[in-house]
Amino acid sequence: MRVTGLICSRKAMRRQLYPLLIFMTLLAACAEPESTVTATAITNVTVIDAVNGVRENQTVVFDGDEIITVGSSSPELSVAETIDGSGKYLIPGLWDFHVHLSYDDRFTDYMPELFLSYGITSVRDTGGLMHKILPIVEKMRAEEAVAPRVFFAGPLLDGNFVVYDGDSRPEIGVRNATPDDARSTIRDLKKQGVDFIKIYEMVSPAVFEAMVETAQELELPIDSHVPLSLRASMAGPSVDSIEHLRNIEMDCANNAPELHETRLELLKNPDGLSGADLRSSLHSLQRLPAIANYDEARCDQTLAALTSTIQVPTLRLGALNIAPPFKRDDWQDALSRIREDAREDWIETSAAMADNPIEEFTQFGQWALFLVERMHSQGIPIGAGTDTPIFISVPGYSLHSELEYLVRAGLSPLEAIRSATVRPAEFFSLQDEMGTVDVGKRADLVLLDANPLENIANTRRIAAVVSKGRLFTQNELSELISAAHAAELRVQ
């Protein structure tokens, strides 16, 4: 039990055992009369996480940002607040493992509250220019901020041609024409505090290699698209996570070496296309033909090279046509939580998609579900990410769609929960601190009204969210979103 503030948490005590002098000071401080009991207990709750499985009738106590007891008997602790968890289910706080906080200004200001309202207590930002993302991160990490934990990469590290160059698409990529450029870019990003790097699609093999070497030297985890200049089986083993399943289809085709040779020629860009157009032309040329040429034995070789690389399939994006969000009953409610101009825009986009679904997109969606099933059955780790807010992805809401897609692709509900809890923690080597409901772990939790193992859609039935040790009821979270919208309107 904490009696004098954070400094007396057990973890703080363990970490500060030496020097002895500090320890003695701490003991003296902690022995002072009990004045500020701050712990919260959730009683009689069914605890579910991907490592311990299901534990019934548990009492979970957290104090500040730390879980201090988990057990079937009531601990002898004074607590400031008790939440009756009877008939409820407690899971670790969820991650959205692929977000863009700075991509669309119509979302940035209230995304943190929106994420929390859907039980997302950690996010990994996979691409944004430093001058935009740094202030956002700083705000989210401020002492009293109501915001998920945030981990960020800075810009997409692209090659000589840049896809997201601010011309036809938002500017979130930077150019790395040579290996030396790549090394200095990454060293500079490290100095500015990024948590990992994100390698994009147009890098050359030499630039890719320099990026991997430099990131490893600086102990930065590596997220990547499969660069078009490489094959998935070449790039995969060098990086820690791969996004969108993209370009893996090209390595699963019976003519994969030939496709690769063709790409290498076209990447010289004889027609002088923009980065975005060059990439699109290669996708159009090779994606669906590669899927049509699927070769199981060759694909198994590719997948065998990916067993230590977390795959973040973003199915809610890639397979959107299979189960579009705008056909769901709760879509209107989700839309009501975003800013009006974005809402109107998305209603239009959704209507166009509903009227005229693009056949190629549906085909890729079916392939994506099939590939995730193959990957999962071969032991490839899967991470849950959405690419929100890109392409009608309501922040937070869409992560639950992603979990449903993962179950549709063959993961069990518990495995889907693993993909949004334990896997992201592993990417950052934080599995000792996050991802399960255990003593000593950080206090990020989601209290559900229904059992997510019976139906993964029950992760949407959120009664309360604990973020960094602060408990918010669903009503409180709704109010926070309204307040964030109101604050934004005042600024406009």
Between vectors from CA 50 to CA 48 and to CA 55, what angle results, nearest 5°? 30
CB 385, CB 96: distance < 8 Å: yes
Task: Identify which of residues 96 and 426 has a Cβ nearer to Zn ion in the complex.
Answer: 96
Task: Identify which of residues 127 and 325 has a Cβ nearer to Zn ion in the complex.
Answer: 127
Q: Which of residues 173-232 bind Zn ion (CB under 5 A)?
A: none
| Token pair listed for 93 | 């706080």
Binding segment for Zn ion (CB under 5 A), chosen from 21-29, 167-175, 223-231, 387-395, is 387-395
How many other C-beta atoms lie within 10 A of the C-beta of residue 117?
Answer: 23
| Token pair listed for 268 | 């010289």
Question: How much is the CA Rg of the chain, to the nearest whole Å?
Answer: 23
| Token pair listed for 470 | 């602060």
| Token pair listed for 430 | 């934080």
CB 225, CB 201: distance < 8 Å: yes
Q: Which of residues 104-143 bind Zn ion (CB under 5 A)?
A: 126
3-class secondary-structure state, position 485: helix
Task: Identify which of residues 244 and 287 has a Cβ nearer to Zn ion in the complex.
Answer: 244
200: phi > 0 → left, psi -120 to 50 → alpha, else beta; which? Answer: beta
The widest CA-to-CA distance across the chain, in whole angstroms, is 77
Task: Identify which of residues 387 and 426 has a Cβ nearer to Zn ion in the complex.
Answer: 387
Least distance between Zn ion and beta carbon 150 (Å):
15
- Whole-angstrom distance, CA of residue 137 vs CA of residue 129: 12
- Whole-angstrom distance, CA of residue 332 vs CA of residue 147: 24
Q: Which of residues 426-485 bind Zn ion (CB under 5 A)?
A: none
Task: Identify which of residues 190 and 198 has a Cβ nearer to Zn ion in the complex.
Answer: 198
Residue nearest to Zn ion (CB): 387
Q: Where are the alpha helices (DSSP H) in 293-358?
A: 296-304, 315-318, 331-336, 340-355
Task: Identify which of residues 224 and 436 has a Cβ nearer to Zn ion in the complex.
Answer: 224
Task: Identify which of residues 61 and 172 has a Cβ nearer to Zn ion in the complex.
Answer: 172
Question: Residues binding Zn ion: what is the number (CB under 5 A)?
Answer: 2
For residue 79, what is the DSSP state?
A: -
Q: Where are the alpha helices (DSSP H) in 146-274?
A: 179-191, 205-217, 232-235, 248-251, 256-266
Task: Identify which of residues 317 and 445 has a Cβ nearer to Zn ion in the complex.
Answer: 317
Binding segment for Zn ion (CB under 5 A), chosen from 61-69, 113-121, 337-345, 380-388, is 380-388
H or E element that contains 397: helix 397-408
Binding segment for Zn ion (CB under 5 A), chosen from 38-46, 342-350, 385-393, 441-449, is 385-393
Which listed residue (96, 181, 240, 387) binds Zn ion by CB under 5 A?
A: 387
Q: How far is CA 436 from CA 62, 285, 363, 426, in A?
A: 13, 44, 36, 12
- Whole-angstrom distance, CA of residue 402 vs CA of residue 456: 10
Phi and psi at 171, nearest 5°, equal -85, 100
Task: Identify which of residues 91 and 150 has a Cβ nearer to Zn ion in the complex.
Answer: 150
Task: Identify which of residues 66 and 387 has a Cβ nearer to Zn ion in the complex.
Answer: 387
Task: Identify which of residues 42 and 101 has a Cβ nearer to Zn ion in the complex.
Answer: 101
CB 235, CB 209: distance < 8 Å: no
By CB under 5 A, name the binding residues for Zn ion. 126, 387
